[in-house]
A and B are shown apart, each in its own frame.
Chain A
Amino acid sequence: MTASRTPLLAINGLHVTVEGKQILNGLTLQVRAGEVHAIMGPNGSGKSTLAHVLAGRPGYQITAGTVSYEGRDLLALAPEERARQGVFLGFQYPVEIPGVNNVYLLKAAVNAVRKQRGLPEVDAFEFLGLVRDKMKLMHIEDSFLSRGVNEGFSGGEKKRNEVLQMLVLEPRLAILDETDSGLDIDALKVVAAGVNSQRSPERACVLVTHYQRLLEYVVPDIVHVLVRGRIARSGDRTLALELERRGYDWVSGEAA
């Protein structure tokens, strides 16, 4: 896969605190279009914080460092602007919103992106066709459309719904925060198929994961290990396998 010269996402010396506690501690990372990166690390290493900071969640203080996306300052954008520019966060814990139905949210989200690009609102009929195809891929039933967002969904259904949203929105940069956690092997394969279906030279994906299991199905170009808020080691997919064998203590010890 040919990577373009300018990174799609460039994080430089990022320091982030949450309620006065240092979580990210000089994190530097570059993701080029066409690449799939996996970010692994022990609990509390800052993986989810990184995902949330990139999506613009309130409550995180950025004390130093920069993040550029498509060459522009990502941190200056509001969360909804980031989404409309093509940044997507797949939540570790997708939120239940009873009373807002799935199809409404999907359509509102698609139209927000289209408005940004100066396109007219999506044709309702065409939209349903598009969504149904992707629902099939994600093994999601039709009745899902009229249900409340994630309302009463099982853990696996919520994760598949996150990937469905990603497929419908076609982001340039997808950040999936532990989308594999809590999935049985069948659901994991479905999620992986979804992620693989949107790999392309124009787009990039950052998989935040605790286990290497997902990486058997979505093969990453680069694997990073995050320890105490910075990248302790990077390598190809064999790094994930080595981590699996030797445990995080191996890298943590080195980084200390």
Chain B
Amino acid sequence: MSTPLTARIVEEHANAAAALPPAGPTAARRRTAIAALTASGLPTSRDENWKYANLRPLERLRFIPATATPALAATDLPAAIPGFARYVFVDGAFAPALSAPLDSTAAAVTPLAAAPDAGQASAAMAVQTPAPGAPADERFALLNEAFATDGAAIRVAAHSGEPVRLELVFVASADALTGASYPRVELQLDSQAHLLLIERHVSAGPHASFVNSAVTVDLGCGATLHHYRLQELAARAIVFDTLSAVVGRDACYRLHGINIGAQSARSTLAVRLAGERADLTLAVVALGERQQVQDTYARVEHAAPRARTEQVFRGISAGRARVAFNGKVVVGSEALGTDSRQSLRGLLAGPEAEIDVRPQLEIYTDEVRCSHGATAGKLDENMLFYLLSRGLEPEVAQRLLKWAFLEDVVARIGVAELRRQIEERLAQQLPEPAARAEST
């Protein structure tokens, strides 16, 4: 399925191939990815799981990796989180001067460019790498595979004891007309390893950057991963994100997504519960305003008995924004005793805003407990009147109710300083009229 778009990607790749370092993905893997992309093409809005995404910007983007590295200072970055080692990547490339490496033997963090084979050290990674015939929704990861020049390979050793605390900051600075940013994370937790991982995507400057991130996660038996993903890119950025995870026996994966930034954002999450009693919580918050598009597609596959999934989504759409969450749970024939819950809720905060929440269940066995709830609506009139009747300004009451709507998901963020930063960021988006009035 060669389209003008894929033809252009192939051509840009051919021109850039010689300059791409043999790091991260090897030349052979890049070629395989390009071949797979040529065969499958990128998704289009005719694809069922892509109809809410904004794919139009792809027509005018350049795909070669950005090269000019700007001079950034630590002050250009989000405030550090106490207790967390920090690794910073600018337009996909590791920036040691801005980083504060881990001081622990329990885990190894290796920039992919520094260790070409780091990513291949794990056999599991190779399995997860999308290949021809890979799930159609993970095709954007092929683009990352073809072009990524750097990234983080993280391995947490078995029985790591105290949780390892890591923060990855991916900074996008280039304009999409000059080059793209390809954040890449290859993460492996050995059995009984424990990791708290913050992954944030931010901008330096107001550029309309193109970011294409790919994250693979492999959780060994009994491993625990708390993964906080923040997308707070500048207002004109375009981002496509693909996360593929495999969760082993008795492993526990808590995945928190906070999607606030960018003009147009699509996150594709594919999690396979491969071991017995694997446990997944997927909690996503998305805010859209102006003409933003925030689209999340999550596919959770129960491939082993007695695994548990909880999907929680809270989205607020204002202005002319579109906020979508498409959450699919597939329960395979071997997944007896599956426990799956979905609670997807969208809030319309303007007459021209759009919310799409869509829970989907595919069950191929009996003896499962699956529940789902999905709602999309405006602020509750009764709640609003109750607050007004206590003297609160309408704007304050509305803001308070929006907060309350997000609260049960934000409250799950267990890292206090991170939660504070997120609340502050959310407060900017849900402005407090009282505070504004005081400052004038």
Q: Which A residues have a C-beta under 8 Å from some C-beta of B?
A: 55-58, 78-80, 82-84, 88-89, 91, 94-95, 97-100, 104-105, 108-109, 112-113, 116, 148-149, 165, 169
Given A57-B385, A91-B386, the answer on whether A112 and B391 have CB atoms closer than 8 Å is: yes
**Do residues A108 and B404 form an inter-chain contact, with CB atoms below 8 A?**
no
**Residue of B382, B387, B405 with most partner-chain A CB within 10 A:** B387
**How many angstroms between the C-alpha atoms of A79 and B390 in the bound complex?**
8
Given A79-B385, A95-B382, the answer on whether A100 and B392 have CB atoms closer than 8 Å is: no
Given A95-B383, A98-B408, the answer on whether A89 and B401 have CB atoms closer than 8 Å is: no
Which residues of A lie under 8 Å from residue B50 when comparing CB positions? none
- Residue ID in chain B nearest A108 by CB atoms: B392
The 8 closest A-B pairs by CB, nearest first: A99-B404, A112-B391, A99-B407, A83-B391, A109-B390, A95-B386, A79-B388, A80-B388
Whole-angstrom distance between the Cβ of B291 and the nearest chain A Cβ: 28
Whole-angstrom distance between the Cβ of B321 and the nearest chain A Cβ: 22
**In terms of DSSP, what is the predominant structure of the interface of chain B?**
helix
Which residues of B lie under 8 Å from residue A104 when comparing CB positions? 400
Given A91-B386, A95-B382, A97-B386, the answer on whether A80 and B394 have CB atoms closer than 8 Å is: yes
**Do residues A112 and B401 form an inter-chain contact, with CB atoms below 8 A?**
no
**Residue of B380, B381, B391, B404 with most partner-chain A CB within 10 A:** B391
Considering only CB atoms and an 8 Å cut-off, how many residues of chain B contact the other chain? Answer: 24
Whole-angstrom distance between the Cβ of B283 and the nearest chain A Cβ: 15
**Do residues B407 and A105 form an inter-chain contact, with CB atoms below 8 A?**
no
B393 at the interface (CB under 8 A from A): yes
- Residue ID in chain B nearest A148 by CB atoms: B404
Given A57-B385, A97-B386, the answer on whether A80 and B408 have CB atoms closer than 8 Å is: no
**Do residues B391 and A84 form an inter-chain contact, with CB atoms below 8 A?**
yes
Select one of A55, A57, A112 contacting B393, CB under 8 A.
A112
Whole-angstrom distance between the Cβ of B401 and the nearest chain A Cβ: 7
**How many angstroms between the C-alpha atoms of A148 and B391 in the bound complex?**
18
B389 at the interface (CB under 8 A from A): yes
**Residue of A56, A95, A109 with most partner-chain B CB within 10 A:** A95
- Residue ID in chain B nearest A57 by CB atoms: B385
B403 at the interface (CB under 8 A from A): yes
Q: Which B residues have a C-beta under 8 Å from some C-beta of A?
A: 380-383, 385-394, 396-397, 400-401, 403-408
- Residue ID in chain B nearest A149 by CB atoms: B386
Which residues of B lie under 8 Å from residue A57 when comparing CB positions? 385, 389
**Do residues A97 and B392 form an inter-chain contact, with CB atoms below 8 A?**
no
Whole-angstrom distance between the Cβ of A114 and the nearest chain B Cβ: 10
**How many angstroms between the C-alpha atoms of A47 and B404 in the bound complex?**
32
Given contacts A95-B385, A105-B387, 13 further A-B contacts (CB under 8 A): A55-B389, A56-B389, A57-B385, A78-B394, A79-B388, A79-B389, A80-B389, A91-B389, A95-B380, A97-B404, A99-B403, A100-B403, A148-B404
**Do residues A98 and B386 form an inter-chain contact, with CB atoms below 8 A?**
no
Whole-angstrom distance between the Cβ of B90 and the nearest chain A Cβ: 37
Select one of A83, A97, A99, A148 contacting B389, CB under 8 A.
A83
Select one of B382, B392, B406 contacting A112, CB under 8 A.
B392
**Do residues A80 and B403 form an inter-chain contact, with CB atoms below 8 A?**
no
Select one of B381, B388, B404 contacting A100, CB under 8 A.
B404
**How many angstroms between the C-alpha atoms of A149 and B387 in the bound complex?**
10
Which residues of B lie under 8 Å from residue A84 when comparing CB positions? 391
**Residue of B380, B385, B397, B407 with most partner-chain A CB within 10 A:** B385
Whole-angstrom distance between the Cβ of A80 and the nearest chain B Cβ: 5
Whole-angstrom distance between the Cβ of A171 and the nearest chain B Cβ: 10
**How many angstroms between the C-alpha atoms of A109 and B390 in the bound complex?**
5
Which residues of B lie under 8 Å from residue A113 when comparing CB positions? 391
Which residues of A lie under 8 Å from residue B391 when comparing CB positions? 80, 83-84, 108-109, 112-113, 116, 169
**Do residues B408 and A99 form an inter-chain contact, with CB atoms below 8 A?**
yes
Which residues of A lie under 8 Å from residue B387 when comparing CB positions? 97, 100, 105
**Residue of B383, B405, B408 with most partner-chain A CB within 10 A:** B383
